[in-house]
Structure 1
């Protein structure tokens, strides 16, 4: 009889341990989210903008998506075409603006219009920024056969873009 009671007392903590072990498995999955997090350096020499300083699991909370469109809704057509156009826009921008781009390009699609928002380094003369903006708008409007608007923010120094040093 004593051994039977001992087995009952032993069975109860085992069930509780399984519950704790089950809960700890959830925390293990949350703990290992390190794929998009930049590593800190000893002398804190790496600059991070606000977008790159946010953790990947905070997209939609403190960080927004880089492409805004409704093609991903249920039974909407054109999701793959929008993703292909977004990649093409980003590559063209990198080719046209070169090392003057300081931030990632945010692409907003509203009705038939495309709006591009990004930050550039000050080039010297404002005429060059205006020329590149107009050239890019005309090029994308001709390629995509829809109106393209560009909103450019010009930073005079790269320290205005720095959110924190790691």
Structure 2
């Protein structure tokens, strides 16, 4: 049998009020308003949005696709951190190479060791320069990433063609 002094703790009367006052539980009302990745409506409703931008995040895989298709983030996947870093590098390289020509999101698709990059570009330069930049981009990315890279490019005449709605 245990001794009664060991079971019940003895608190000094001077310490007990301070102990109880310091342990408080605060709650706040639930806020179900989701604001992440949503664009604010302008007073004149003159902000253009593409289809990707017009759909909120909870419509990913329903009405809009993923911007990066890979399986490295699944359990047992190899190189998840390197894949994300490479995707960021590819996007920045594409936007820098095709300066002021990129009209949509840069979509990266990985299949085995092959990377396909899909993008919509504006026809702002001559066809000769466009073909040079495509070859230049594919060659450099293939060398840096150590795997074959293919660009899937669609061109449009004007940037307004990708506008889905104004908010």
**1:83 paired residue number:** 84
**1:161 paired residue number:** 162
The question of 1:129 aligning with 2:130 is answered yes
Kindly report the root-mean-square deviation, in angstroms, between the aligned alpha carbons of the 2 structures.
1.4
TM-score relative to the length of structure 1: 0.79
The 2-side partners of 1:91 and 1:69 are apart by 18
Alpha-carbon deviations, 1:93-150, whole Å to 9, x = none? 1211111111110000001100000111112422221111111001101111110000
**2:117 paired residue number:** 116
Deviation of 1:42 (Å): 2.0
**1:65 paired residue number:** 66
Structure 1: 4+ residue segments shifted above 4 A: none
**1:5 paired residue number:** none
Structure in which a larger fraction of residues adopt helix: 1
Alpha-carbon deviations, 1:34-78, whole Å to 9, x = none? 121111112221110000001011112111111001111111111
**1:33 paired residue number:** 34
Alpha-carbon deviations, 1:79-106, whole Å to 9, x = none? 1111010011111112111111111100
TM-score relative to the length of structure 2: 0.79
**2:97 paired residue number:** 96
Unaligned runs of 5+ in 2: 1-28
What is the aligned residue count?
Answer: 139
Provide the secondary structure at the position in 1 that maps to 2:154: strand
The 2-side partners of 1:58 and 1:143 are apart by 34
Provide the secondary structure at the position in 2 that maps to 1:100: coil
Provide the secondary structure at the position in 1 that maps to 2:36: coil
**1:48 paired residue number:** 49
The 2-side partners of 1:75 and 1:145 are apart by 22
Provide the secondary structure at the position in 2 that maps to 1:115: strand
